[in-house]
Amino acid sequence: MRPRGAAVTGEPWDGACSTLSRSRDEPLAGSAPEARAWVVIEQPGPWGRDALTASHLDQDVARTVAARADGLPVRVQLARRPGAHPDARSDARTVWTAFSAPGRSWLRSHEVASARALLDLDLEALAGGEPAGAGDTVEHPMIFVCTNARRDRCCALRGRPLAAALAARHHGRVWECSHLGGHRFAPTALTLPAGVLHGRLGPDHAFRVLEEARQGRLVLDGYRGRSCWARPGQVAEAEVRRLTGERGLDALDVLATDGEDDGRWRVEVAAADGRGWSARVVEQRGGDPAPESCGKAPVVPRRLVVEDLTAHG
């Protein structure tokens, strides 16, 4: 529900997790969900907190797809067109599948006549970078804006106006989607096929994210990370980009992330031109407690930071 007095235009209100996060200038790097591959299922109508199994998608199908994705580097999302959300019950829908590894990313779409056709998706093949089933290649990047209100009110109040503004200029390339994590960074969005996550997006900012993706470039402002890497790798790659100004989408790769038991990681980042960096990433805790999501109890913030970065090669 929208809090009393909150504007539908996405204006901030006291106590919202995204307002508090902005006021603290909380860093975004390393907050992207981890997934090498994506399945995005068109599902109009209302979504609950756990959208896949709390929507009008056939629940046997939803539970089976969720179970098959469990344990694989595959993330399943729901999507719907921006705007009103009528309670449509048609079985016909679009399904997108994507693989997001640097230099190997692709996006395919497939029209299915029945939700049960989702059971034909080969998620193990998708996790390995192979097509999960029938479909046509999508030649342009697409952006999915989180508007999952039942998960967090910030996602709806900030995400829905953004999706509407984007869709007015890029019809068909912009969809609302279910939970992407990081509610406190709302509005958040996923760009496929690269699996790039951004937060704190405004309309002009998001237009630029989509256009730069079409040109094979990355917008560093609001960059949360690329989903194909573990979060310490996301932080290290983002730090290399911050220091070098590198914006080529596939210019960098994370070769290794070795963790230790005490919240420390060694990450190797490589550039396509032969440069390389070794980063020491550490988990830090401290500061005034704050909620990670609206309605949750405040917790002491924790974040991953690059403690040391050494160039080589």
The burial of 141, by beta-carbon neighbours within 10 Å (0-12 exposed, 13-18 middle, 19 or more buried), is given as buried
Section 57-80 average pLDDT:
96
pLDDT for position 8: 36
What CA–CA distance (Å, rounded) separates 24 from 292?
12
Alpha-helix runs per DSSP H in the chain: 17-23, 59-69, 123-127, 153-169, 203-214, 231-244
CB 256 within 8 A of CB 64: no
Rounded distance between C-alpha atoms, residue 131 and residue 38, angstroms:
11
Q: Where are the domains of the chain?
A: 1-228
Confidence (pLDDT) at 12: 47
Using pLDDT thresholds of 50, 70 and 90, give the confidence band for residue 9.
Answer: very low
Q: Identify the pLDDT of residue 209.
A: 96
In this predicted model, what pLDDT tens digit does every residue of 229-240 receive, in sequence order?
Answer: 999 999 999 999
pLDDT, tens only, 100-155: 999 999 999 999 999 999 999 999 999 999 999 889 999 999 999 999 867 677 77
∠ CA 70-66-122, rounded to 5°: 80
CB distance 235 to 281 below 8 Å: yes
- The tens digit of pLDDT for each residue in 263-310 reads 899 999 999 999 999 999 999 987 778 777 777 787 887 889 999 999
* pLDDT score of 1: 35
Q: What separation in angstroms does the CA of 188 have from each of 56, 152, 154, 191, 201?
A: 24, 12, 10, 10, 7
pTM of the model: 0.91
Is 47 or 100 the better-scoring residue by pLDDT?
100
